[in-house]
Every structure is written in C-alpha cells, then in structure tokens.
C-alpha cells in the first residue's frame, strides 16, 4: 500500500499488507491510510509487543479470525461472511467513538476504559432499537472475549457488565387468505415504483417472478435462501409415491460450522400437497423435473443474495400498496405455513420445520388464533384451510 504525501512530488509512505484476501487487504490499506493522515504522514514505531495490540490492530485481528485466518490452526474460526461483516461493523462503530478522544493506532485494546464503553452505550442507545442495541453490545463483548480467551491478552472484559434493553415479544401472526390475495393482486395493479425520499431514489420493485416466489414461500415455509435456491432435482418420492422437497437446513449448518460440530445436519422435508403441486405444474414441473434448474427464475443474472433482498423488499412494497397496514413481512409467510401445518401435524410439526423443540415453534412461529409426517402432510395440509 502506497500513500502519497501531499504537497510533495514523490514523497510517500508504504506498507506491506499481511492479508492475502483482497477484501481484507482493502481494510488493512484503509486503516494504514487513516493512520498516516492522523500522524501527519510520519511513520510511527509500533507501540505494542506480543499480544498487546492497539485497538485498531485488535479489530483487524478479530476480523481475520472470524474469516478463518489465524497463525494457530486450532484457533481458526469460520463464520458466514455476513456475520463476519456485522461483527466488524459494530467494532468499527466503537472505534469511531473512541478515536474522538484517543489515537486508536497507539491506544492498547487493554486500555479500553469504562468511559469508552459508556460513550458507545449512549451512542448505540440513540441509534438502535432494543434488539439491535443488544446485538451491538453483545458483539463488542464477544470481541473482547476473543482478545482475552483466544489471544490471551491480560485484561478484564470492559463489556462484561451492561444493562440490556427490553425487547417486546411479538405475538406471531399468520396472514389471512384475503390479505395474501390482496398482495398478489397488487403485484399486477399497483405502482411498482418505490420512492426513497431520504435518498431521492426511485426503484422499480416489480419482477416477473414475484407472484410465483411469494406463493413458493407460502407453500414451502422455507427461509429466504432455501426458497430462492430451490431446484427441481430436490423433489423426491416416498415409497408410496408421495412427492416432497428435501433440502439442507442452512441455518443449522452454519450454526454447527461456527461451533465446529462435525455431526450430520438433519435435512428439511416439505411435503408437496395439492396446492404446491398445482404451483409447480404452472412453473413447468413435467418439463424441468429432475433437472438442476432453479424453480424460481432459472435464467437469473443476479446472485441469490440480491434476489433474496429484492423479494423481501418487494413483498413489503406490495403489502403497503395493497392497503394492509399491519407490518407483515416476507418471513410471516413461513409463520403462516407452520401455523397451518401445525393444525394437521400438531407435535410432529417440528419434523417438517426441523426445529429442536415445540417451544421454539410456539414462541416464534405459530399463530395462537389457529388451532408418517411427510405423507400425512402431503395429503392433509391445506394452507388457509381450503
């Protein structure tokens, strides 16, 4: 990394970056550039030895650790890139708060004071709702736990004690037949343009596959990534000829990977009932069955993450356009599905949802107003009871 010294022809400061991963090298480069600017382009000799990292270096060390990079093989952790970036983002916000009064390239991470924690606490309290606030504080506590437990920095965790915010428990709510149809109708009739007044942008939320995507979410009860990556060759048959989708529980896979659990992950099973097979026939079941094509939008030119994000935002856009004031989101289609599955399977619902216990379902997914598993589900499950 070369940083040009202003008002000179050839003056520069340079640094050999450690990371061999491009995105992480960019972060290192940005950190070095900021360090040079803050020090008036004077090279500062390292003030730390061994594991006495500066706060800036410690954050970068943590970022690399979450990405599976560590000099000791037994300490390498590997989490999803989204989680890695989220943790880094909260750490960076904390660093921005601290550097208002200190030089984070010289200040040791072990010198973090309760005043620093308090300043971040006040800032986060003013920027986040309860759930996100608690997540931000927990992320900083985990960062210092890493320094203490993994890097063996001799210090106490400054984020060990803090008061969490109360998060109101939501009562899960299933969509009604009328609400869902209103949203589908809005896709065909409502203004597709979303006006982002804060940024002065206009976005076209319409995509030709939206209605089919919404139906697939409702009729499979899958999470976003599971549904947008669903393929025709994931349809299997039971011995009695009942069709069902089989796919990996991606959420559990990530959790086991992050905890280095090597046991096999239970697959998820979605019985293909009358409603779902009707949708699949519309999408070309006879033509595509057994192929590696995606069920929704097979000829896509965007990543599945982009598609996930757009389907979520489009659902909210058309929900509002349909005049439904209740804050229903795409995830409520999963809750609706599990509500009606529970009406048929009751305690066996967890077999299809792959939840560890009924308590998780009752607390988070089943609407309290609506009262072997694959074959029974395929024959008897009726979304909206019709």
State pLDDT tens for residues 248-272: 766 666 555 555 544 444 577 788 8
Query: At CA 95, angle to CA 89 and CA 101, rounded to 5?
Result: 155
Q: How far is CA 107 from CA 27, 77, 270, 290, 361, in A?
A: 19, 26, 54, 59, 47
Strand-pair partners of 40: none
What's the rounded Cα separation, in Å, for the pair 228 and 296? Answer: 7
pLDDT score of 46:
43
pLDDT score of 23:
82
What's the rounded Cα separation, in Å, for the pair 75 and 149? Answer: 10
What's the rounded Cα separation, in Å, for the pair 110 and 107? Answer: 8
Percent of the chain whose predicted confidence (pLDDT) is above 90: 45
Mean pLDDT confidence for 193-198 = 76
What DSSP line would sit under 202-214, residue for residue? Answer: EEE---TTHHHHH
Q: Which residue has the higher pLDDT, 348 or 103?
A: 103
Name the average pLDDT for the chain: 82
Percent of the chain whose predicted confidence (pLDDT) is above 70: 80
pLDDT score of 261:
46
Helix axes 274-282, 210-220, angle to 10 degrees: 150
Q: How confident is the model at residue 26 (pLDDT cuts 50, 70, 90)?
A: confident
Strand-pair partners of 108: 54
Does the structure show a pLDDT above 70 at 24?
yes
Please give the sequence-ordered ranges of beta strands (E in DSSP) within 55-147, or none if there are none.
none
Does the structure show a pLDDT above 70 at 50?
no
Does the structure show a pLDDT above 80 at 40?
no
Mean pLDDT confidence for 164-172 = 75
* DSSP character at residue 247: E
pLDDT score of 367:
45
Multiple choice CATH, 177-385, 1.10.357.10, 1.10.443.10, 1.10.287.110, 1.50.10.10: 1.10.443.10
pLDDT score of 262:
46
Q: How far is CA 30 from CA 1, 2, 12, 54, in A?
A: 9, 11, 15, 16
Q: Which residue has the higher pLDDT, 295 or 46?
A: 295
Q: Domain limits of the chain?
A: 177-385
pLDDT score of 318:
96
Q: How confident is the model at residue 89 (pLDDT cuts 50, 70, 90)?
A: very high
Q: How confident is the model at residue 71 (pLDDT cuts 50, 70, 90)?
A: confident
At residue 384, the 3 state secondary structure works out as helix
The tens digit of pLDDT for each residue in 313-365 reads 999 999 999 999 888 899 899 888 877 776 665 555 554 555 545 554 455 54
């Amino acid at each position: 990394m070369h940083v040009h010294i202003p008002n000179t022809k050839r003056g520069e400061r340079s640094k050999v970056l450690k990371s061999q991963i491009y995105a992480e090298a960019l972060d290192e480069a940005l950190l070095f550039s900021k360090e040079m600017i803050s020090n008036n382009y004077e090279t500062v000799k390292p003030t730390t030895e061994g594991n006495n990292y500066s706060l800036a270096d410690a954050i970068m060390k943590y970022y690399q650790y979450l990405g599976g990079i560590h000099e000791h093989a037994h300490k390498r952790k590997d989490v999803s890139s989204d989680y890695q970036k989220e943790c880094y983002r909260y750490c960076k916000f904390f660093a921005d708060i601290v550097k208002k009064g200190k030089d984070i390239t010289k200040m040791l991470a072990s010198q973090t004071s309760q005043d620093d924690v308090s300043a971040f606490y006040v800032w986060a309290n003013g920027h986040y709702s309860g759930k996100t606030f608690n997540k931000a504080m927990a992320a900083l506590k985990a960062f210092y736990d890493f320094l203490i437990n993994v890097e063996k920095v001799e210090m106490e965790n400054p984020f060990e004690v803090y008061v969490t915010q109360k998060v109101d428990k939501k009562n899960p709510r299933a969509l009604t037949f009328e609400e869902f149809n209103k949203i589908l109708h809005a896709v065909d009739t409502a203004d597709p343009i979303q006006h982002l007044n804060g940024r002065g942008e206009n976005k076209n939320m319409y995509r030709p596959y939206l209605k089919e995507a919404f139906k697939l979410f409702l009729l499979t009860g899958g999470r976003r990534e599971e549904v947008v990556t669903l393929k025709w060759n994931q349809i299997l048959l039971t011995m009695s000829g009942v069709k069902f989708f089989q796919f990996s529980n991606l959420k559990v896979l990530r959790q086991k990977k992050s905890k280095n659990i090597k046991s096999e992950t239970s697959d998820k099973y979605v019985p293909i009932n009358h409603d779902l097979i009707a949708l699949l026939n519309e999408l070309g079941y006879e033509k595509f069955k057994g192929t590696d094509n995606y069920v929704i939008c097979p000829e896509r030119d965007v990543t599945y993450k982009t598609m996930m994000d757009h389907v979520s935002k489009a659902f909210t856009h058309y929900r509002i356009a349909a005049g439904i004031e209740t804050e229903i989101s795409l995830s409520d289609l999963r809750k609706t599905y599990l509500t009606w599955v529970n009406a048929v399977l009751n305690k066996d619902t967890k077999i299809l949802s792959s939840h560890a216990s009924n308590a998780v379902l009752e607390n988070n997914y089943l609407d309290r107003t609506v009262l072997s598993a694959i074959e029974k589900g395929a024959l008897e499950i009726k979304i909206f009871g019709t």
